[in-house]
Amino acid sequence: MTEFTQKIKKVPHEILMGETIKNGPVTEVSLCSFEDTKAVIRFDKPLAKLIGLDRIAEYQLLCSIQEFGISPEVLYFDPDQGIQIWRYVSGNHLKITTQTKTSRLQEIGKILKTIHQIKPTTPLPLFGSFIERYQDLLGGKENRKIIEAGFSLYEEISTDETPLVLSHNDLNPDNLLWVNSLFVLDWEYVSFNHPYFDLACLIEYLQLDHKNINELLIAYNTDLDPVDIQQLFLWREFNNFLTFFWLMIIKKYSIISDKERSLLVKLEQRLSRKKS
């Protein structure tokens, strides 16, 4: 927190800092009081700029979709200082149990469809711009075959004519909050993307079996447009490559934790077997 003390002093509002709830390679996130309102403050680290996060696009998007009640309310934003503050939301991170699985998956499917049907009124990047940035950052010989296989897979699955939609792109359980219904956090990777990527992320992160996948897709597929399961699973596989890319970038440009290093090794072994 010491490195961000001077930045806090530049905010023209009363801020009382609370406990740090996340300290990762891209951001540090803490509880705070903002003008006597319980809030959450996020500080960018240098890696945020390096990987091309568009904070202005994220902020404008969050402001424009407040009416849907599925995303944080931004209270303060300073892109030059790399600070965003949003109103604290009380809830529990999503947990899928045997008793709640069907109802939770139905809710997730409906909310995801709502997100994908939103027509943004503000500029957004294309998901492909993140991939191009990752390609630039991952030059070199280390794990070259895996990296090339991952980018080749992306080129294969992203060239169909499916219309791109508003996509969150990071739907892991830490970003899914249950507040009477589903509330989605951390929109920093938001972009236009193929709709299958968000679905694939949910399937992978929640480790859904075929029955659960079917329940999710039934709730999502309100327009009765059939989902290509084979393509969906290719997007799921690409999500593993993307996680591998991300961990390689952390290792190369930041400080990788023991947990992240362990996952990197597991993915390297898994994706090497796929390649061979």
Q: Based on the domain organization, do 125 and 18 belong to the same domain?
A: no
* 179 and 258 fall within a common domain: yes
Structure tokens at 205: 């992160």
Q: Are residues 13 and 52 in the same domain?
A: yes
**38 and 113 fall within a common domain:** no
Domain count for the chain, please give it. 2
Same domain for 112 and 205? yes
What pLDDT does 2 receive?
A: 62
Supply the pLDDT for residue 99: 62
Percent of the chain with pLDDT over 70: 95
Token pair of 199, please?
A: 């679905």
Low-confidence ranges of the chain (pLDDT < 50): none
CATH number of the domain residue 233 falls in: 3.90.1200.10
| CA–CA distances in Å: residue 81 to residues 6, 7, 77, 132, 146 | 10, 7, 9, 26, 36
Write the CB contacts of 179 (distance below 8 Å, at least 6 apart in sequence): 89, 90, 91
Q: Which of 66, 87, 108 is a domain's end point?
A: 87
| Structural domain boundaries, residue 75 | 2-87
Dihedral sign for Cα atoms in the order 26, 108, 86, 122 = positive
pLDDT, one tens digit per residue, over 124-165 is 999 999 999 999 999 888 889 999 999 999 999 999 889 999
The pLDDT score that the predictor gives to residue 100 is 65
Given 55, 87, 119, the domain boundary residue is 87
* Residue 207 CB contacts under 8 Å (≥ 6 apart), including other chains: none
